[in-house]
Amino acid sequence: MQFPARKKVKFVHDVIQFERVTFSYPDEENPVLQELSFSISQGERVVITGPSGCGKTTLLYLCNRLYPENCDGILSGTVKLFGKDSLYFIPGEINHRIATVFQDPDSQFCMQTVEQELAFTLENLHVNREEMDKRISEVLALTDLCEFRHAVIQSLSGGQKQRIATACALIMEPEILLLDEPIAHLDPYTAKKYIEWLDDLQHKRSITIVAIEHRLDLWGNFFERSIPLHKTEVAAPLEKRNSSKIEEISLAVNKVRDKSFLKDISFQLSRGEITVLAGPNGSGKSTLMKTLCQLIPSSGTVQPDFLGYVPQSPEFLFLTKNVRDEIGYGGGSNIDEMLSRLKLENIADAHPFAISHGQKRRVAIAAMLSDGREVILMDEPTSGQDAVALSELFQLINERAREGTTFLIVTHDMEFAYCIADTVLLMDGGSLTGKFPAKDVWSDERLLQNHHLLPPKGLMRHEACFA
């Protein structure tokens, strides 16, 4: 995505300054950030890059003063916000000037409905009742969320929650917007619209935007510069895999429906088949995955009834006190291999709740792959993964499929889907609209458009070779 070249603006002042900042967690041998210095000026667009677990989210939490105030971390050096040492701001003083959209939107919601959540934010800013309703209406219109004003937040999809979390940040009219992988749970079409909307917002309000992002391809030239944390390993590009499925039914789903949304969903997957489940935000993908695992009451039949499952929020699965034990909890014998291949060796003794979001996903994936399940469901496994981890995940799934494991994967990453999928299940409005050979989906422009998908760049590169 390309945006018109922005006018060269003479920035007035620096709004964020790090001067030789080192930050350590008490139980960690090495600092997560070391001797880090940089500055960000008013109105800039900056992206923070680096491998999973390198400290990107920690950096963001230092920018909004969540750290070191709310953790036991040890900070040296100086963090200045709006020209003032961050330690001299009283708790909560900075939060209406620097708004944050967290990687897991559920972690920042306090109220039941969207309107209540927005009102709660304004109440904390002491906005009067007359002004409150006006600002809620304005921000819902700005974020294209008017239809969700009275919706129960926990009934919405991950992508819808992400947009609501952004609305809660914007209603404070901040000077700086911090975004932790803001498009991770958005379908490709919605992600594109979100970035275009953010571009327009930044032009109108001259807001400073600082984002953490792995999927830079969707952002085009949106960011003016990047701040890399640690040198990223070079990953081998993903290559389109050859199908390994065997004509033997491994997963049979017959007329599955829940009480409110899903409508008589039926399909079959073969042994060794890798299927991507795709569709717009709110179409029912995660609901279907939970229903198949019997986490939501439903009717219909699912065979087998013992499925491996990696949810969007993998920490809900964790039962032990360190990563190694978590991977081996189900009795797997290849724990060391999983630790090595999924780049988890250096955190093997860490508590699963104390690691990055991307690492949590890899721990949950490792546990399922070690468990010997014949059918594994994964909901957004690529979220928060750097290129090296993504490449290794691709190889592991491919190898297991060749050994006969069946995979059903929800993903909005069309490059990953293009390379990994044998078949694609498409959903919209709680219904299954069809099961297609993957190659037929990528070449059908109308089908992609109807399901808020964009053609993968891998397909365009492939076609160019034969042009």
DSSP per residue, 45-80: EEEEE-STTSSHHHHHHHHTT-TTTTS--EEEEEEE
Residues 285-318 pLDDT 10s: 999 999 999 999 999 999 998 899 999 888 888 9
Strand runs labelled E in 225-297 = 225-228, 246-258, 265-271, 274-278
Q: Is 52 left (phi over 0), alpha (psi -120 to 50) or beta?
A: beta
pTM exceeds cut of 0.85 = no
Neighbours of 249 (CB within 10 A): 13
Contacts of 219 (CB under 8 A, 6+ apart): 1, 47, 195, 213
Give strand pairing partners of 80.
Answer: 17, 85
232 has pLDDT over 70? no
Domain boundaries, the chain: 14-228, 249-307+373-451
Question: What pLDDT shows up at residue 30?
Answer: 83
Tell me the pLDDT of the chain averaged across its residues. Answer: 88
Q: What token pair was written down for 8?
A: 């060269």
460 has pLDDT over 60? no
Please state, in angstroms and rounded to a whole number, the distance separating the CA atoms of residues 43 and 47: 13
How many percent of the chain have pLDDT more than 70? 94
Neighbours of 242 (CB within 10 A): 8
Question: What pLDDT shows up at residue 204?
Answer: 81
Question: What pLDDT shows up at residue 6?
Answer: 62
Residues 39-82 pLDDT 10s: 999 999 999 998 888 889 999 999 998 888 778 788 999 999 99
Which one-letter amino acid corresponds to residue 209? Answer: I
10 has pLDDT over 60? no
Q: What token pair was written down for 81?
A: 């916000």
Question: What pLDDT shows up at residue 440?
Answer: 94
Please state, in angstroms and rounded to a whole number, the distance separating the CA atoms of residues 285 and 158: 10
461 has pLDDT over 70? no
Please state, in angstroms and rounded to a whole number, the distance separating the CA atoms of residues 221 and 5: 9
Please state, in angstroms and rounded to a whole number, the distance separating the CA atoms of residues 213 and 332: 33
Question: What pLDDT shows up at residue 458?
Answer: 63
Question: What pLDDT shows up at residue 463?
Answer: 46
The number of angstroms, rounded, from the C-alpha of 112 to the middle of its chain's C-alpha atoms is: 22
Question: What pLDDT shows up at residue 235?
Answer: 64
The DSSP symbol for 90 reads P
Please state, in angstroms and rounded to a whole number, the distance separating the CA atoms of residues 404 and 306: 16
More confident of the two residues 23 and 245: 23
Give strand pairing partners of 227.
Answer: 48
How many percent of the chain have pLDDT more than 90? 55
146 burial type by CB count under 10 A (0-12 exposed, 13-18 middle, 19+ buried): exposed
Contacts of 197 (CB under 8 A, 6+ apart): 143, 144
404 has pLDDT over 50? yes
The topology (CATH level 3) of 14-228 is: Rossmann fold (3.40.50)
Q: What is the largest CA-CA distance in the chain?
A: 66
Please state which CATH number belongs to domain 249-307+373-451.
3.40.50.300
Residues 175-195 pLDDT 10s: 999 999 988 888 888 888 889
Distances (CA, A) of 147 to 161, 257, 449: 13, 25, 22
Residues 320-375 pLDDT 10s: 999 999 998 877 778 999 999 888 998 999 899 888 888 898 999 999 888 888 99
Pairing of strands 431-437, 406-410: unpaired
Residues 112-124 pLDDT 10s: 999 999 999 999 8
227 has pLDDT over 80? yes
Which one-letter amino acid corresponds to residue 42? Answer: Q
101 has pLDDT over 50? yes
Same topology between domain 14-228 and domain 249-307+373-451:
yes
416 has pLDDT over 90? yes
Length of the chain: 467
Distances (CA, A) of 466 to 35, 151, 185, 237: 50, 49, 34, 20
More confident of the two residues 394 and 9: 394
Mean pLDDT value of segment 206-225: 91
The alpha carbon torsion through 367, 353, 380, 342 (nearest 10 deg) reads: -50
Question: What pLDDT shows up at residue 464?
Answer: 38
234 has pLDDT over 70? no
Please state, in angstroms and rounded to a whole number, the distance separating the CA atoms of residues 208 and 15: 9
264 has pLDDT over 90? yes
Please state, in angstroms and rounded to a whole number, the distance separating the CA atoms of residues 238 and 414: 12
Contacts of 395 (CB under 8 A, 6+ apart): 341
Among residues 352, 347, 289, 349, the alpha carbon closest in space to that of 315 is found at 352
